Amino acid sequence: MRKAAAIPSQYDVILLSVKSYALAAAIDDFAPSVGPQTVIIPVLNGMQHMDALRQRFGEKSVLGGGCFVATEIDAQGRIIQLADFQNLTYGELDGKMTSRIEAVHDAFRGAGFDTAILRDMWQKWVWLASVGAVTCLLNGSIGEIAAVPGGAELTLSVFHECTSIAGACGYPLSETFLAEKSPQLTAPGSPLTTSMYRDLKDQAPVEVESILGDLIERGRKQGVSAPLLQAAFVRLTIYQQGRAAVKAAAS
């Protein structure tokens, strides 16, 4: 990303797609390009980033957004697509079709993008948290976990914790979503993981706070217990702290 001083003018639309741990720096970099009519479309994981963006730029500037892809960067710096799905959604937080959404949609028309509401963002969050928590906690893909007695049941228990939090927060997930995703979480031989698991295996930073920590905290405020999510959060936080300690010792 260019330095903030190099940004020549205010933009109409900003598509924000960094990892959560790079959010603060990214906000400082693009802040000079945000004007009264600028709309920001964030496609980060979780919901924590929404608070940061609205606090910095105001409620009016921030749309809802979500991106469903499975990719990784190989040793040569190439982006490798790991699955055949790709979808970007966006929209007003109240779900209304406004003139600015129509303008953005006209600009994006033909690229396969859809409008979205907050429930879409919660669905993505629940899915990432469910797959990420169980694969990182148990150190295996969905198929590897399902192959072990009790593995599929444990995975569905994690999914239930996530969906319960979403419902308690005012975003109950549809029966269609639950019916579609539950079999995917227990599919024999499935190579399914998430970027959080792949980052863990690569000894890279993980988005543990934005994907798991914030979800657990929102559930706690609603009186929803999530012990399996908590176990995954503790496991990944220990990893993150150990990684930071090693980096500090080497510097």
- Checking if the pLDDT of 4 tops 50, the result is no
- Checking if the pLDDT of 97 tops 80, the result is no
- Checking if the pLDDT of 2 tops 70, the result is no
- Checking if the pLDDT of 221 tops 70, the result is yes
pLDDT confidence of 50, banded at 50, 70, 90? very high
Give 103-152 as a DSSP string.
HHHHHHTTS--EE--HHHHHHHHHHHHHHHHHHHHHTS-HHHHHTSTTHH
More confident residue, 9 or 197: 197
Q: Which pLDDT belongs to residue 231?
A: 98
Q: Which pLDDT belongs to residue 92?
A: 85
Mean pLDDT over 220-228 rounds to: 97
pLDDT confidence of 197, banded at 50, 70, 90? very high
CA distance readout (Å), 217 to 80, 168, 221, 249: 34, 12, 6, 31
Q: Could you tell me the pTM of the whole model?
A: 0.68
pLDDT confidence of 1, banded at 50, 70, 90? very low
Q: Which residues contact 36 (CB under 8 A, 6 or more apart)?
A: none
The token pair that represents 241 in the structure block: 């702290």
pLDDT digits (tens, 9 = 90+) for 151-191: 999 999 999 999 999 999 988 998 999 999 999 999 999 99
Mean pLDDT over 7-19 rounds to: 86
Q: Which domains does the chain have, with CATH numbers?
A: 4-116 (3.40.50.720), 119-250 (1.10.1040.10)
